[in-house]
Structure 1
Amino acid sequence: MHIAANTKISALIKENPAAIEAIASINKHFEKLRNPLLRKVLASRVTIADAARIGGCEVERFYEQLAPLGFTVTAENSTESMEDPVYTSAPELSAFLRSLPAERLHRLDVCEDIATGNDPFRKIMAAVDKVDEGSALLLINTFEPTPLIAILKKKGYSYFTEEKSPDLVHTYFWRSGTAGPQAEESIKPAENNFEETLARFAGKVKRIDVRHLEMPQPMVTILGELETLPAGEALYVVHKRVPQFLLPQLGERGFRVAINEAGPNEVYLLIYRAEK
Structure 2
Amino acid sequence: MQIAATTRISTLIKENPAAIDAIASISSHFEKLRNPFLRKVLASRVTIADAARIGGCRVEQFYEKLVPLGFTVGSATAPAFAKPKPVATAPEPVELPENGLVELDVRVDIAAGNDPFRKIMKAVEELEEEHTLVLINTFEPTPLLTILQKRGFNYHVVEKEEKLVYTYFWHKTALAAAPETSAPLNTSFDIIQTSFADNIRQVDVRHLEMPQPMVTILSELATLPAGTALHVKHRRVPQYLLPQLQERGFLIAIKEVSPSETDLLIYR
CA–CA distance in 2 between the matches of 1:253 and 1:228?
13
Aligned to 2:262: 267
Q: Percent identity?
A: 37
CA–CA distance in 2 between the matches of 1:161 and 1:233?
44
Aligned to 1:41: 44
- AA in 1 matched with 2:250: F
CA–CA distance in 2 between the matches of 1:63 and 1:116?
30
Counterparts of residues 97-112 of structure 1 (less than 5 Å): 104=101, 106-109=103-106, 111=109
Q: 1:146 to 1:131 in 2, by over 3 A?
A: farther
Aligned to 1:51: 51
Q: CA deviation at 1:251?
A: 1.6
CA–CA distance in 1 between the matches of 2:144 and 2:236?
17
1:180-205 deviations in whole A, cap 9, x for unaligned? Answer: 9x864335236752233333242642
Contact 1:108 1:124 in 2 (8 A): no
Q: 1:120 to 1:157 in 2, by over 3 A?
A: same
**Among 151, 175, 185, the residue aligned to 2:147:** 151
Q: CA deviation at 1:261?
A: 2.0
CA–CA distance in 1 between the matches of 2:115 and 2:35?
24
Q: 1:116 to 1:73 in 2, by over 3 A?
A: closer
Counterpart check, 1:202 vs 2:203: no
Aligned to 2:183: 189
CA–CA distance in 2 between the matches of 1:156 and 1:117?
19
Higher mean Cα deviation, 168-177 or 148-157?
A: 168-177
TM-score by length of 1: 0.62
Q: CA deviation at 1:60?
A: 5.5
CA–CA distance in 2 between the matches of 1:139 and 1:213?
30
CA–CA distance in 1 between the matches of 2:155 and 2:184?
26
CA–CA distance in 2 between the matches of 1:66 and 1:205?
37
Aligned to 1:123: 122
Contact 1:54 1:161 in 2 (8 A): no
Contact 1:240 1:267 in 2 (8 A): yes
Contact 2:48 2:59 in 1 (8 A): no
Q: CA deviation at 1:41?
A: 3.2
Aligned to 1:72: 78
Contact 2:181 2:252 in 1 (8 A): no
Q: 1:30 to 1:215 in 2, by over 3 A?
A: same
Contact 2:7 2:48 in 1 (8 A): yes
Unaligned runs of 5+ in 1: none
Q: CA deviation at 1:229?
A: 3.4
1:83-126 deviations in whole A, cap 9, x for unaligned? Answer: x5213566x67xx99xx88x835124382897389844641323
Q: 1:39 to 1:137 in 2, by over 3 A?
A: closer
**Among 236, 242, 245, the residue aligned to 2:231:** 236
Aligned to 1:250: 245
Unaligned runs of 5+ in 2: none
Q: CA deviation at 1:24?
A: 5.5
Q: CA deviation at 1:255?
A: 1.3
TM-score by length of 2: 0.63
Contact 1:151 1:183 in 2 (8 A): no
- AA in 2 matched with 1:157: N
CA–CA distance in 1 between the matches of 2:80 and 2:177?
34
Contact 1:241 1:267 in 2 (8 A): yes
Q: CA RMSD in A?
A: 4.9
1:71-94 deviations in whole A, cap 9, x for unaligned? Answer: 53438x3xxx56x5213566x67x
Higher mean Cα deviation, 228-237 or 244-253?
A: 228-237
CA–CA distance in 2 between the matches of 1:254 and 1:264?
28
SS at match of 2:217: helix
Q: 1:161 to 1:58 in 2, by over 3 A?
A: farther
